[in-house]
A and B are shown apart, each in its own frame.
Chain A
Amino acid sequence: MRQLPRLHQWFFGRRSDEHWPLVLGQRRIFIVPSAAGMLFALVLLVMLIGAINYDLSLGHALIFLLAGLGLVGMVHSFHNLFGLRLTPGRAEATFVGDLARFPLQLENPRRQPRRALELSFSGQPLVAIDLPAEGIESIALPCLAQRRGRLDPGRLTLVTRYPLGLFRAWCYVHPAWSCIVYPKPLRTPLPPASPAVTTEHRQGDGGQEDFAGLRPRQLGDPTRHIAWKAVARRSDEQALLVKQFAGGVSDELWLDWSLTPANRDSEDRLSMLAGWIMLAEEQQACYGLRLPGQQIAPAAGSAHRAGCLQALALYETGEKRDAA
């Protein structure tokens, strides 16, 4: 019995699905009688014995018609999956305890609708969908985010029992799907801005900052950082450019690992940091993040927030942060 999971693994295979869109072919679709199908077969057998015993010719006809119906139902269940085109999308990051949603586009290239397709990750909620003829639908497959870090939802199971419920046709799809799971934010008051910390990073004097480059303006960037001269020079560009500074300013806020209570475990401390980031973002403050071994320069905007939260999510998971 110990071999069973291995056998299952070998048989159903963890195939690397790399070519998209994925077209479901016959090698990928499995089909077996469902519990209802077994009951149906049993009923037919009992009916056959009755028909033989009472010599009911029309009873034979009925039983054979139903047997044919079962076979035809099998073919239709198979065709309900066969030829379906799947394209996975990028999943948005989410917080621990929330549902991560993995987008998937289903395309039905044929001229008959497909009905009652049920998709789910193992142990996760089910999504049922009907596809119209030659239709395209996008769905988001839920997967509960239980741990901080990078979430691999595992393989996706696509099941159908349509049309008669006597057979269960299914296939496994395993896109290289993942999503970042941020720590669950813990709402605590923001730490005070610490001048001792900010002066350390001041280079030079009296509000002069280190000019570090230009980048397109994002929502939340202070207007005084817009590089008007650069914008005027590059009239073909639509986005405004803002100057980026390596240094902090006096109202900078550093969200530091060392400011969190050292007696809490590291997950709680990360949660507190996540809560601070959310609060700081709500107050449109300019904040930086400092973790043991890495730091993110103060800035503002949703991209910055995402970068900071990602740093928390991947903290001590042995994985490098995306270069975003």
Chain B
Amino acid sequence: MRPRPQQAIDQGAVPWLLAVALATASPHAEHLPPWLSLLFAAAVLGRLWLWWRRRPLPPRWSLALLVLAALAGIAWQYRSLLGRDSGVAMLVTFMALKPLEMKARRDAMVVVMLGFFLLLTHYFYSQTIPTGLWLLASCTLLTAALIRLHGGSQPPAAILRQAGLLLLQAMPFMLILYLLFPRVSGPLWGLPQDAHAGRSGLSGEMAPGSISSLILSGAIAFRSHFAGELPEKTDLYWRGPVLDAYDGLTWRASAPTTGLPRMAPVVEGRGEPYSYTSIIEAHHQRWLLALDVATSLPAGTMQAPTLEVLAREPLRARGRFAFTSSVDYHANRTETAAVLQQALSLPPAINPRARALAEQWKSRPPARIADAVLGMFRNEDFHYTLRPPLLGADAVDEFLFDTRRGFCEHYASAFVFLLRAAGVPARVVAGYQGGEVNPVDGYLIVRQSDAHAWTEVWLAGEGWVRYDPTAAVAPSRIEQGIVAALPQGEPLPAIVRLDADWLRQLRYRWEAANNAWNQWVLGYNPQRQRDILSRFGMANPDWQGMSAALAVLCGVALMLVTVWTLPRRRPTDPAQRAWQRYCRALARHGVTRAAWEGPLAFARRVAAEKPQLAAVTSEAASCYAALRYGRGDSKQLLVLQECVHRLPARWRNSR
């Protein structure tokens, strides 16, 4: 019994609140200016010292000065107070200084609310599984702080257990709300400039070194899940941008000729098409990586005349797309003259030796010319390497006749140059080749290290036919992947080079978990919500239907939680239960045991009032007395439980 002045903060809660401040603000140290992190650490340590020594808190005016100084510092650092990062910095400042004026319970509540807010801001920077786990841990701490604030002193373990229990009970609500809360696709207003950070991926042009630098990244470009069987590994060509303009150094996609109507692509697929769903990471470009060549497209996308699939907008967030593709196809058997003209154009007066070589082949049919180039790559002393020598102005000449070491972009570039010089329409296709099946969830993972460049040649009657000159030099690149194709010592990222089997297994599991996380947690947008709800039998889900389902399910969950947490009493002793049951049965015969009446005394009274019930009652009473007050055994319990059935039926015993 302690009369407590209302609203004053319990001093024992102060360390809890400081722990909250630490847990919610410290991960921001990674991207905050160092002086702010130092200010935060100093403020928290100072508050802890004041609490430990039971010193009074600093005066308010000094804190106000400190806040003003920190805000000025933030404004100077970020050049604004309104951005995302400066907002986070301000929240951290408040979180650092609020505990220093924390006197009442209300101040402590403000600290906790700030903590909730700060938790949210972590997701600006990272939404990975570890961040999610950090969310749970911090939430437990925040809940524990609330319990400590309102429940008085308890052992910390008991408080944490209680907090964990509350969060566990909150989980069903989170799931229901997550699934059913009508999602609005943001943004509601214009995002600040710093909302999107730059990412790596294929670029719209290819110069020597552009793809080999991409190879060094083990980051995942996209994942695909096939409804049926996977295509052969040698068929896994994922088409990116088609590069048909060459300036002697760089391959680019040609600008569409204005004024001329561009022909829609004509694709004739043969054989069973493959259906698959791809989850493509944001790359801030319009193309969507589809298996060559796509025959049906996801809604809201189009197929360019050069056969790659384009979204309406650059892909700013991870997206999920369903495609159908045929790997055996004829594409654009008839092609416009403008496209063929573009596929023949070369910058004048460069690479004379290559032109001279091509001149010798000009009389041959186009397919034979391509075979001749491939044969040259295969039979002569060409090497596949990530570290080719630098090339000068006549890059193709130097590569073909001097250095003879290169990566896929060198081979593709030289191949197309030779064919164009020999009068055959050809172009470079950039994209990815191959991929690795994760046995844990069956997804095919394609990484940046799978980036590739190959070529297409237009043959009359067949349309665009794929030729991969890299395959001629290093067949294992296509059949087994980049690791097998490159000699030891090439600088590949560690993640694709894992040799130890257990490490590889671990990586598979981790990536499968990440994939599920991406799809179910991060990729849960309005579209996916509609898909999933209609799969659950909610035809044409709209926000009214979702809200109704939400209300009903939350009500049910609330009832379940209420029942689950209902005060539980100690289960009564079986002997007592049997005796009470017997007494209730006896009461129906007209003898009611008074609350104060012991079993034996009651039996004596029954014997006096209802002699016909005397024998069974006295047996029941003596059994109960032995069980309850003496050393009863299980046999007596059985006898006691039987006694109620030995009473005569009531209708026969009517007075």
Across the interface, do A59 and B120 meet the contact criterion of CB distance under 8 Å?
yes
Across the interface, do B1 and A139 meet the contact criterion of CB distance under 8 Å?
yes
Complex: how many Å from CA A75 to CA B1? 25
In this complex, what residue of B is CB-closest to A139?
B1
Q: Which of B1, B109, B167, B185 contacts A36 (CB 8 A)?
A: B109
Complex: how many Å from CA A243 to CA B241? 120
Q: Which of A67, A127, A165 contacts B150 (CB 8 A)?
A: A165
- A36, A40, A58: most-surrounded residue (chain B CB, <10 A): A58
A172 close to chain B: CB less than 8 A? no
Contact indicator per residue, chain B 565-582, by CB within 8 Å of chain A (1) or not (0): 111111000000000000
Across the interface, do A76 and B565 meet the contact criterion of CB distance under 8 Å?
yes
Across the interface, do B568 and A62 meet the contact criterion of CB distance under 8 Å?
no
Given A66-B139, A69-B170, also A57-B523 (CB < 8 A): yes
In this complex, what residue of B is CB-closest to A70?
B170
B532 close to chain A: CB less than 8 A? no
Complex: how many Å from CA A50 to CA B188? 9
Given A40-B113, A68-B173, A110-B568, also A61-B132 (CB < 8 A): yes
The smallest C-beta distance from A37 to any residue of chain B, in angstroms, reads: 10
Across the interface, do B146 and A109 meet the contact criterion of CB distance under 8 Å?
no
User: CB-CB < 8 A to B189: which residues of A?
Assistant: 53
Q: Which of A39, A61, A115 contacts B135 (CB 8 A)?
A: A61
Find residues 63-101 in chain A having any chain B CB closer than 8 Å to their own CB: 63-69, 71-73, 75-76, 78-79, 82-83
Contact indicator per residue, chain B 520-531, by CB within 8 Å of chain A (1) or not (0): 011111000000
B556 close to chain A: CB less than 8 A? no
Binding-face segment, B27-35, B176-184, B481-489, B626-634: B176-184
Complex: how many Å from CA A92 to CA B50? 45
A54 close to chain B: CB less than 8 A? yes
Interface SS, A side: helix
Across the interface, do A47 and B117 meet the contact criterion of CB distance under 8 Å?
yes
Complex: how many Å from CA A118 to CA B173? 30
Across the interface, do B191 and A128 meet the contact criterion of CB distance under 8 Å?
no
Across the interface, do A72 and B151 meet the contact criterion of CB distance under 8 Å?
no
Chain B interface residue count, CB cutoff 8 Å, equals 66
User: CB-CB < 8 A to A61: which residues of B?
Assistant: 132, 135, 174, 178, 521
Complex: how many Å from CA A127 to CA B2? 6
In this complex, what residue of B is CB-closest to A83?
B567
In this complex, what residue of A is CB-closest to B564?
A75
User: CB-CB < 8 A to A231: which residues of B?
Assistant: none
Across the interface, do A64 and B174 meet the contact criterion of CB distance under 8 Å?
yes
**24 A-B pairs whose Cβ atoms sit less than 8 Å apart in the complex:** A51-B123, A53-B189, A54-B124, A54-B187, A56-B127, A57-B521, A59-B120, A60-B183, A61-B174, A62-B123, A62-B135, A65-B139, A65-B170, A67-B174, A67-B177, A79-B566, A110-B568, A110-B569, A111-B569, A115-B154, A116-B152, A163-B150, A164-B147, A164-B166
Interface residues of A, Cβ cutoff 8 Å to B: 35-36, 39-40, 43-44, 46-47, 49-69, 71-73, 75-76, 78-79, 82-83, 109-112, 115-116, 118, 125-130, 134, 137, 139, 161-166
Interface residues of B, Cβ cutoff 8 Å to A: 1-4, 6, 84, 105-106, 109, 113, 116-117, 119-120, 123-124, 127, 131-132, 135, 139, 143, 146-147, 149-152, 154, 162, 166-167, 169-174, 177-178, 181, 183-189, 191, 195, 317, 521-525, 554, 558, 561-562, 565-570
